[in-house]
């Protein structure tokens, strides 16, 4: 049994990939974790196909959830083309709650194109991991495969997403962050058209 969808605080979370181009210091995938506080085992035997994902959704009463959240135990944008197909099919069926995608904002690097226009009409909230107010801080925390280019790509993606999506949020984990650093993150998020959300660190 693979966990494709799971419930948390009234929302339905969707896990379609374990791939990621980062190695964040706080990532729950490190240190032998199999899951999170949200679900027991989020390592996938294989990446679910569109049909497998839809079959899982079909077992749920979507009307009861306040939000459907594509996140992963990994970076969901690796599966964006399939996520768009899933959203389109669910929207056609009717009754889909607001959709959020939690991303590291590296879509351009991962997919090699600008997907911001494709978010329009599909995604209601985009949540981008900011993780620091400078490229150095960002790289230290997220350890992205593409180094500084990942920082630039993330900022650029956020700015473009804000043109197509009603709500864009940026998140920062409060581990080792001073109030001044959090204020700089807030100002940066606002300059891109996003609002900052500070998340509590979940220790091992």
- Among 98, 110, 188, which Cα is nearest to 146's? 110
> Closer to ligand SF4 at the Cβ: 44 or 96?
44
Name the phi and psi angles at 160, rounded to 5.
-70, -40
Gap between the Cα atoms of 22 and 76, Å rounded: 12
> Closer to ligand SF4 at the Cβ: 24 or 182?
24
101 neighbors 83 (Cβ within 8 angstroms)? yes
Q: 12: part of which helix (H) or strand (E)?
A: strand 11-14
Q: How far is the CB of 175 from ligand SF4 (least distance, A)?
A: 12
> Closer to ligand SF4 at the Cβ: 75 or 90?
75
Q: How far is the CB of 109 from ligand SF4 (least distance, A)?
A: 12
Sole residue written with tokens 């181009």? 21
Q: How far is the CB of 58 from ligand SF4 (least distance, A)?
A: 27
> Closer to ligand SF4 at the Cβ: 127 or 142?
142
Q: How far is the CB of 95 from ligand SF4 (least distance, A)?
A: 29
> Closer to ligand SF4 at the Cβ: 97 or 105?
105
Q: How far is the CB of 27 from ligand SF4 (least distance, A)?
A: 3
Residue ranges in contact with ligand SF4 by CB under 6 A: 20, 22-24, 27, 29, 74-75, 104, 129, 142
Q: What is the dihedral of CA 107, 166, 141, 76, to 10 degrees?
A: -40
Q: How far is the CB of 138 from ligand SF4 (least distance, A)?
A: 11
In angstroms, the Cα distances linking 100 to 49, 176, 195 are: 20, 27, 15
101 torsion bin: left (phi>0), alpha (psi -120 to 50), beta (else): beta
Gap between the Cα atoms of 61 and 80, Å rounded: 23
Q: Kindly give the pairing relationship between strand 67-70 and strand 99-103.
A: parallel
> Closer to ligand SF4 at the Cβ: 20 or 44?
20
């Amino acid at each position: 049994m693979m966990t494709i969808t799971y419930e948390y605080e009234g929302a339905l979370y969707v896990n379609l990939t374990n791939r990621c181009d980062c190695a964040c210091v706080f990532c729950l995938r490190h240190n032998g974790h199999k899951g999170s506080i949200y679900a027991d085992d989020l390592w996938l035997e294989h990446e679910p196909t569109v049909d497998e994902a839809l079959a899982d959704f079909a077992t749920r009463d979507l009307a009861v959830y306040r939000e459907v959240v594509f996140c992963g135990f990994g970076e969901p944008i690796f599966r964006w083309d399939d996520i768009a197909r899933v959203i389109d099919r669910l929207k056609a069926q009717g009754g889909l709650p607001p959709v959020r995608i939690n991303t590291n904002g590296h879509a351009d690097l991962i997919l090699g194109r600008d997907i911001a226009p494709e978010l329009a009409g599909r995604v209601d909230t985009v949540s981008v991991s900011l993780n620091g107010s400078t490229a150095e801080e960002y790289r230290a925390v997220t350890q992205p495969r593409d180094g500084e280019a990942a920082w630039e790509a993330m900022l650029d993606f956020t700015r473009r997403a804000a043109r197509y999506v009603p709500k864009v949020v940026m998140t920062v984990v409060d581990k080792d962050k001073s109030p001044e650093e959090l204020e700089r993150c807030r100002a940066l998020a606002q300059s891109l058209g996003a609002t900052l959300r500070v998340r509590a660190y979940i220790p091992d």
